[in-house]
A and B are shown apart, each in its own frame.
Chain A
Amino acid sequence: MKIRGILLPSTLLAAIIFITLPFGSATEFSFRDGGKTKHSLAAYRWILAQEDFLHYLGVSLRLALGAVFITLLIMVPTVAWLHLRAQKYRPLMEFLTLLPLVVPVVALSIGAQSALPEALQSNEYELSFMYVILAMPYTYRALDIGMSAIPLKTITEAARGLGASWIKAITFVIAPVIRNAVVASLFLTLALSLGEFTLTSLLHWDTFPTWVTSVSQQNIIGAIALSVFSLAAAFLFLFAIGLLTMRSKSDLPEGQE
């Protein structure tokens, strides 16, 4: 009985140490001022002085929004259609959208580099399209699970039966009930796009994550400070999504009487 009582707290303590050790160290490191003991905000001041900081932040944000836009345009209508009219193709689509998970990003990068037309490869929005592919196994599932939880077909038919046009059915019935699933999938796309490194660097583009790497060659403390900044941002962002998508799932009571 005694062992049971301390099992949970000791496990949690180990987890906290595991998480805070690198995070805490990096934070401490980022405040170092040249020497080993003096601390200051020098590294952060240095970052803000870099023109590239805002520039690459802008590039990453722009490409991520591009990916979000494509997801909204292609993924959302497709999954909605699968649930409304093409139920029998759901297993096939689930299989196809899972495949990008099987192929290592490195392998896909080399494929994109050798197969996509020059005109596309010279446009940075090429990355937005590829980010959508990388995120597809996750976005498809988020949308699919979200739409499975509600009888989309029945309520749409009910709305149509009550005299709503297709446009009205989409605006007043479909859109509101699938909102949570859509928001979750868009956030997933955004998060993945903002942090993507492998494909971006192998296709020779520069975004925020690749810029951080190049910074490390001239200013390691600056690069660590940037890492702390970007991880803290990613952390808050993804944690918010986590809680958001959690809440949208219904909590069935587990106990008996």
Chain B
Amino acid sequence: MSSATLEINGISRRFGDVVALNKLEIKIEPGELVALLGPSGCGKTTALRIVAGLESTDSGSVLLRGADITKVSANHRNMGMVFQAYSLFPNLNAQENVAFGLQMRKVAKGNRLAKAGELLELVGLNTQSKRFPHQLSGGQQQRVALARALAVEPDVLLLDEPLSALDAQVRANLREEIRRLQLSLGTTTLFVTHDQEEAMSISDRVGVMNHGRLEQIASPDTLYNKPATTFVASFVGLMNRLPGILTNGKVEVLGQNLSTLSSDLANGQVKALVRPERINVTQDQSTPNARVITRSFLGASSRIICEMHDGTIVQSLMTSHGSGMLNPGETVKLEIADLEVLIAHE
């Protein structure tokens, strides 16, 4: 199957006074799945629509296999797109929907229906091929939409929040299925979502966007463990914001003196960003600095919510085994397991 490189070269777009995209720069390798993650209004959907040719760009270019396709109209781009919801043509049945792209490519009726049947089988809907969209559940509709997008053997698969309108259970299943199909077909894929779990679980790389800018693009692990900016740090996963004092590149938090990852801040009061699983709660009574509020048993791990003396609420994630003796009301000592922390303004 086709595998192509997709390059987004410094595209910008504004709608009136609103800057939707600001010099977006992404290169997607053949067969790679890249997710664009960000809060609503961050410009991720605009970026996707520009790649699809459904939206124009003010500046910059889109390259496919190194060729500039910025001026190519959407119906000549050979990209398969899956929309949020309700994108199936209501007057066509599932099979005819899937065959539509092939029909536009002048494939003979018998061939295109056969191919559509194969794709419906691939998404597990071969028995529903004669049903109309309104006779299918939301999850089934999105499977048909996926089959329809893949039927044209697209150079790039574009997914525009395809799971956001579905139930949690269906969403998780379909997410895995998209990844399975994408890997087996080797289709270069751009996936837009506001759900970080969705993005992190199936992508090769995730680009975090905010206000039309790409904050960081990296593998899910790097994004989580080495966030480049405070926005990425707080948008991806949970972060405690602990009060600290910055002095010449070193920050003092919870009585510990730690290095900082970004130090363009002036000396003084700052917040140190620490993941819950990097905070240990101990019963060391020599220098207690907090009090346990609740402990929630989650299975292998437990969540412990503590309150520091100054009122700051701190969340810790520990093994259930190692935190069994912590009871609400107890005075405890919080420790940071990292040697380096990210800091932010007050």
Contact = CB atoms under 8 A, between A and B. Distances in A.
Nearest 8 CB-CB pairings of A with B: A257-B40, A257-B45, A257-B41, A256-B45, A256-B84, A257-B44, A257-B42, A257-B46
Interface residues of A, number: 2
Given A257-B42, A257-B45, 6 more contacts: A256-B45, A256-B84, A257-B40, A257-B41, A257-B44, A257-B46
Interface of A: 256-257
Contacts of B40: 257
Nearest to B83: A256
A257 to B, nearest CB: 5
Interface of B: 40-42, 44-46, 84
8 contacts: A256-B45, A256-B84, A257-B40, A257-B41, A257-B42, A257-B44, A257-B45, A257-B46
Contacts of A257: 40-42, 44-46
A161 B186 CA distance: 57
Nearest to A256: B45
Contacts of B44: 257
A255 to B, nearest CB: 10
Nearest to B38: A257
B212 to A, nearest CB: 11
A96 B201 CA distance: 55
A257 B41 CA distance: 5
A139 to B, nearest CB: 29
A257 B44 CA distance: 9
A257 B40 CA distance: 6
A10 to B, nearest CB: 26
B85 to A, nearest CB: 11
A257 B42 CA distance: 8
B259 to A, nearest CB: 38
A234 to B, nearest CB: 38
Contacts of B42: 257
Nearest to B161: A256
A256 B45 CA distance: 8
B178 to A, nearest CB: 20
B341 to A, nearest CB: 33
